[in-house]
């Protein structure tokens, strides 16, 4: 019979307040892995993330805790910035280094000037065919699940905006006997853009293959790496101390314009009522009360600012 442990159980960390934590996601972790870890660190199961990162990718993953998870819709819809390395000369099944090689025509004749010319048509408002191994649903099932089951998946092109596609250092190399060109790039893009697909399309534009070998998200909306903490740093917080978070008002202000409220407006919105429209804005805003508390997210409709989401309900 195994001896009974006499050591005291590890104390449960106090529940973190509602808010946002910016995590520097490590390579090899899925976004869901990070959420599972954060549930323990935040002392609550009410945790979610905004803007999925592939397991290979690192960098900014915005995690919501408590009622702040309801803000993640606007966080995930914000623009994003990445640094990446594209390997030209080889195409893979996943458009990144985790897939199997499909073709390896090589990139021996490709130089940096060619790459600079080829990124121009991939910049601005473009129609992009997402990578087949993506989380997009096809007839109710994720595309990547269908691909892994052996199905051929063809996804429709969708409009995205690539605000910047900057070419950095280009390094000739060799991959299993195939001449390749590894190109460092910086990408600023709208929600829904696949940087993997940009690597694929860049290779195709140059008459060869292309895939990602590294991807790091440096910014999501108003959250960047300067605010990010590693899971190791977060785990080092003493077990009897609640996790520190970005409060909902500051978190919303990092993504949305702020609509200040007086006391009467804050009370009305807390009951789900509309308030007077502030001219000069045509999209959602973070409605913040005179005490600095995020009351609601509002949008102009029918001549009034109407709540899309109430965060500080009356009596709550």
Among all residues, which ones are annotated catalytic?
Answer: 54
- DSSP notation for 47-64: EEEES---TT-EEEEEEE
Rounded CA separation 214/31 (Å): 17
Around Cβ 257, how many Cβ atoms within 10 Å? 13
Residue 284 β-bridge partners:
none
24 contact partners, CB below 8 Å, separation of at least 6: 58, 59, 60, 61, 225, 228, 229, 230
Rounded CA separation 316/312 (Å): 6
31 contact partners, CB below 8 Å, separation of at least 6: 25, 49, 52, 53, 61
Rounded CA separation 304/183 (Å): 50
Question: E strand or H helix at 308, and its extent?
Answer: strand 304-310
Rounded CA separation 259/75 (Å): 17
- Residue 311, exposed/middle/buried by CB under 10 A (0-12, 13-18, 19+)? buried
Structure tokens at 241: 């101390």
Rounded CA separation 211/209 (Å): 7
Rounded CA separation 94/212 (Å): 9
Q: Cβ(310)–Cβ(273) under 8 Å? A: no
Q: Cβ(82)–Cβ(108) under 8 Å? A: no
Q: Cβ(275)–Cβ(299) under 8 Å? A: no
DSSP secondary-structure letter at 252?
H
């Amino acid at each position: 019979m195994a001896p009974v442990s006499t050591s005291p159980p590890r104390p449960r960390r106090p529940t973190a307040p509602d808010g946002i934590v910016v995590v520097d996601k490590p390579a090899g972790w899925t976004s869901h892995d990070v959420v599972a870890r954060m549930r323990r660190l935040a002392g609550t199961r009410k945790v979610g993330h905004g803007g999925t990162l592939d397991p290979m990718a690192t960098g900014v993953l915005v995690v919501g805790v408590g009622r702040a998870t309801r803000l993640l819709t606007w966080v995930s819809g914000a623009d994003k910035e990445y640094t990446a390395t594209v390997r030209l000369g080889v195409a893979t099944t996943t458009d990144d280094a985790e897939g199997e090689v499909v073709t390896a025509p090589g990139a021996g004749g490709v130089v940096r000037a060619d790459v600079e010319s080829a990124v121009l048509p991939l910049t601005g408002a473009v129609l992009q065919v997402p990578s087949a191994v993506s989380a997009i649903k096809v007839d109710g099932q994720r595309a990547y699940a269908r691909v892994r089951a052996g199905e051929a998946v063809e996804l429709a092109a969708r409009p995205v905006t690539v605000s910047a596609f900057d070419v950095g250092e280009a390094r000739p190399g060799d991959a299993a006997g195939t001449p390749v060109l590894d190109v460092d790039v910086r990408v600023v893009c709208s929600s829904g853009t696949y940087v993997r697909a940009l690597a694929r399309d860049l290779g195709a534009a140059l008459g060869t293959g292309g895939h990602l070998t590294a991807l790091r998200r440096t910014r999501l909306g108003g959250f960047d790496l300067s605010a990010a903490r590693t899971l190791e740093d977060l785990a080092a917080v003493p077990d009897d101390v609640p996790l520190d978070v970005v409060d909902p008002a500051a978190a919303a202000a990092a993504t949305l314009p702020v609509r200040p409220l007086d006391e009467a407006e804050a009370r009305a919105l807390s009951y789900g009522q509309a308030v007077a429209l502030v001219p000069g804005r045509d999209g959602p805003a973070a409605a913040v009360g005179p005490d600095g508390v995020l009351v609601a997210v509002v949008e102009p409709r029918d001549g009034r600012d109407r709540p899309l989401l109430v965060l500080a309900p009356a009596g709550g």
